[in-house]
Structure 1
């Protein structure tokens, strides 16, 4: 899992409530056994018309936001089914952080396990951020997990807090397996004694 300490990147506003995991990655694109390539189907119905052409009005298809690594979303992002593929599609596309008022519980657990930083901020602040990044013509913002701070192009700094364990896991870049393997010697001693 890729470490997350700080990320300076374009942030894309996504003012949609209740973005479910099927909207993030439709079920018909979940046939792959690897994470690679899922990003091309991220927000399939929002990004592409029925004939496969790009929808020019969708934010991630607009030139300023094609390289966005941060999403400023709305309430209940990642609700719905428990598909881990939704997080895989986001990270394969290049999204490293999502800022929103709330997230689906299972989605949040999958995000932590896959190195995707989720920041919860109040509704009004998320709405203001979406407006401000558009007004700043999508100038990069910086998300600093170590300092637990978001720095806007204007110079404004916004503090946030996340669970200390989630913060440590993301900053170390250790998934569940890597954390288990840190105890390999103790596990080996236990197995030998068994």
Structure 2
């Protein structure tokens, strides 16, 4: 995974609550075993009609959001099943940060395990972001300071578990985190051999 600390991106507003993992990536696209290739199916039933043509009534299809990499959504984002394909689809599409008032626990954990920074901000702040998210509106995220800001100077702070913060700052998944302790593991193993 790539480390994430300071990140700037165009905001895409998804003004929906209780967006579940089947809406993020529908079940018919879960036949792959690799993590790549899911982005094209992100929000598929909202983005495309029955013939596979982009829908005019879904804002992610608008040119102003074509390069968006920060998703702002309503409360309880990522509810439903525990499928890890949901963050895979978001990341493959290009989203590195997801902001919402609240997240489903398993989805939140799947995000950080896959290199996406989920940020919980209060409802008033998220509503304000929705109102500003037009014409290339950008946010600047500083994970080390746990802040989100925009060009006007507006700043919001967020909380994150120190363990997940370290994982994202270093670009570690759980295997990488274990390998970072290789010297200590070797020392432990050597002591065990000596003790026999």
Q: How far apart are 1:115 and its partner, in Å?
A: 0.9
Whole-Å separation in 1 of the counterparts to 2:169 and 2:15: 28
Tell me the matched-pair count: 192
Could you tell me which runs of 5 or more consecutive residues in structure 1 were left unpaired when the two chains were aligned.
none
Q: Which residue number corresponds to residue 31 of structure 1?
A: 31
SS at match of 2:56: coil
SS at match of 2:90: helix
Q: How far apart are 1:66 and its partner, in Å?
A: 1.0
SS at match of 2:133: helix
* Deviations 1:72-113, CA, capped at 9 Å, x for gaps: 100000000010010101001110001101101110111111
Whole-Å separation in 2 of the counterparts to 1:68 and 1:26: 21
The 5 Å alignment of 1:74-153 reads 74-134=74-134, 137-153=135-151
| Greater Cα shift, 70-79 or 145-154 | 145-154
SS at match of 1:69: strand
SS at match of 1:36: coil
- The alignment yields a C-alpha RMSD, in angstroms, of 1.5
Could you tell me which runs of 5 or more consecutive residues in structure 2 were left unpaired when the two chains were aligned.
none
Q: Which residue number corresponds to residue 181 of structure 1?
A: 179
Q: Which residue number corresponds to residue 14 of structure 2?
A: 14
Whole-Å separation in 2 of the counterparts to 1:169 and 1:190: 23
Structure-1-length-normalised TM-score: 0.93
Whole-Å separation in 2 of the counterparts to 1:189 and 1:156: 49
Q: How far apart are 1:161 and its partner, in Å?
A: 2.1
Q: How far apart are 1:17 and its partner, in Å?
A: 0.5
Give 1 or 2 for the bigger CA radius of gyration: 2
Whole-Å separation in 2 of the counterparts to 1:164 and 1:116: 15
Flag as ranges the 4+ runs of structure 1 deviating above 2 A: 183-194
Structure-2-length-normalised TM-score: 0.92
Q: Which residue number corresponds to residue 67 of structure 1?
A: 67
